[in-house]
A = this chain, B = another copy of it.
Amino acid sequence: MDITIAEAARQLQEAQDILLIAHKSPDGDTLGSSFALYWALCGLQKRVRVECSDPIPNKYSYFLPKEMPRFEPRFYAAVDLADVQLLGGRLEPLAGSVHLCIDHHVTNTRYAACTLVDPYQAATAQLIYRVIREMGCKVTPAIADCLFTGISTDTGCFRYPNVTPETMRIAADLMEAGAQAAYINRLMFETRSRARVRAERLILDTLTESFGGRCAEIVVSKAMMAETGVREDELDGISALPRRIEGVWVSVTYHERENGYKISMRTGDEVDACTVCAALGGGGHKRAAGCFISGSLGEARERIRCALESFLPVPPNHGEGTV
């Protein structure tokens, strides 16, 4: 059942022993939203904890509690979690038990008993902000840090088309409530490890173009990862780099795996990445999707080329070459 902000707030106010669930491969929005709710519910003297099937990356440590209580949950709330598959291995047994889901994905499958979903919100954190205010909680500096992180990370630091005037005004409120905006933005968007910087240079050296410059491709090989010592989670946003080149409609990143290539596709308005990747057995969003292709790099390139052919107006071999 779809519910309102007021109803979601009421359920949380009445609940006891609450488990908040963040999605697997956690990002700033699922974590910021979950921990904002954690801090607000702690303020209401409730027993509450956050779980995620994957480890929480170190960079979010500024908003994490030192420890969280152990207890047998009586109320399960999933946050920014569109589909039970995103519970991840360890938490999959909870699939049928989720009382409340608060989310902003248009693809939400309504797996929870009650769902508060609004795809017009740039981040789930915007919904959580309104739920927290509805519960009458004060937005503490800790809550403000969490929510600012969620909004900032899901909007590419207020850059993407999902940003609305409300997004900007909530961010302003959060800054006044004590969010360390400059610190968070620096940490999320302006901090690269040395390994990442080294890897980025090698990766950009693989840049090639096809379809008359409409398609740009890069390769992330296992050799590059080994040579630079970069971790997978340090390569955040690497797939978006080729798309920045003027005139490029589609960027394709080939991440080498044991028996093939994980493909990340990023597109502009002109091509629906989800449709292209779905044809190759993958999926995702309109402007960001992915799939897996087994075999060699040459085979992967060929399959991508065929899949793109009907979407791009220039023949694949026209304007090919390194940049």
Which A positions have Cβ atoms within 8 angstroms of B?
157-161, 163-169, 171-173, 175-176, 181-182, 185-186, 189-194, 197-198, 200-201, 204-205, 207, 213, 240, 243-246, 268, 323
Cβ contact of A198, chosen from B165, B175, B323, cutoff 8 A: B323
Q: What is the chain B residue whose CB lies nearest that of A170?
A: B168
Nearest opposing residue in chain B for A174, CB measure: B165
Contacts of A207 in B (CB 8 A): 197
CA A306 to CA B141, docked complex, whole Å:
40
Q: List 5 A-B contacts (CB under 8 A).
A: A157-B157, A158-B158, A165-B172, A165-B173, A168-B175
Report the minimal beta-carbon distance from A191 to chain B, rounded to whole angstroms.
5
Residues of B within 8 Å of A165, CB to CB, are 172-173, 175-176
Determine the chain B residues whose CB is within 8 A of the CB of A243 once the complex forms: 190
A185 surroundings in chain B (CB, below 8 A): 158-160
Q: How far is the CB of A200 from chain B (nearest CB, A)?
A: 8
Q: How far is the CA of A192 from the CA of B323 in the complex (A)?
A: 12
Given contacts A168-B168, A168-B171, A169-B169, contact A190 B159 (CB under 8 A): yes
Shortest distance in angstroms between A135's beta carbon and chain B's nearest beta carbon? 23
Residues in B whose Cβ lies below 8 Å from that of A244: 190-192, 197
Q: A263 CB to closest chain B CB, in angstroms?
A: 20
Give the interface centre of A167, A168, A200, A245 by most chain B CB atoms within 10 Å.
A168
A194 to B321 CA separation, bound complex (whole angstroms) = 12
By the criterion CB–CB under 8 Å, are A197 and B157 in contact? Answer: no
B contact residues around A198 at 8 Å (CB): 323
Q: Which residues of the other chain, B, contact A323 by a CB distance below 8 angstroms?
A: 194, 197-198
Given A158-B158, A182-B160, A182-B163, CB of A246 within 8 Å of CB of B192 = yes
Report the Cα distance A170→B172, complex, angstroms: 10
Q: Closest approach, in angstroms, between the C-beta of A156 and any C-beta of chain B?
A: 8
- Find chain B residues with CB under 8 A from A189 CB: 159
Alpha-carbon separation in the docked complex, A159 to B207 (Å): 28
B245 touches A197 (CB 8 A): yes
Please tell me if the beta carbons of B205 and A201 are within 8 angstroms of each other in the complex.
yes
Residues of B within 8 A of A164 (CB): 175
Contact partners of A213 in chain B: CB under 8 A: 194
Q: Which residues of B contact A166 (CB under 8 A)?
A: 172
Contact check, A246 vs B191: say whether CB atoms are below 8 A apart.
yes
Docked pose: A89 CA to B172 CA in angstroms: 41
Give the docked Cα–Cα distance between A213 and B209 (Å).
Answer: 35
* Residues of chain B with a CB closer than 8 A to A201's CB: 201, 204-205
- Of all chain B residues, which has the CB nearest A163? B181
CB distance from A322 to the nearest CB of B (A): 9
For A197, the chain B residues whose CB sits under 8 A away are 204, 207, 244-245, 323
Take A190-B243, A201-B205, A245-B197 as given contacts and tell me if A172 and B168 are in contact as well, using a CB distance cutoff of 8 Å.
Answer: yes
Contact partner of A169 (CB less than 8 A), chosen from B163, B172, B205, is B172
Most buried by B among A161, A176, A185: A185
Identity of the chain B residue whose Cβ is nearest the Cβ of A179 in the assembled complex: B165
In-complex Cβ contact of A194 among B163, B181, B190, B246 (8 A)? B246
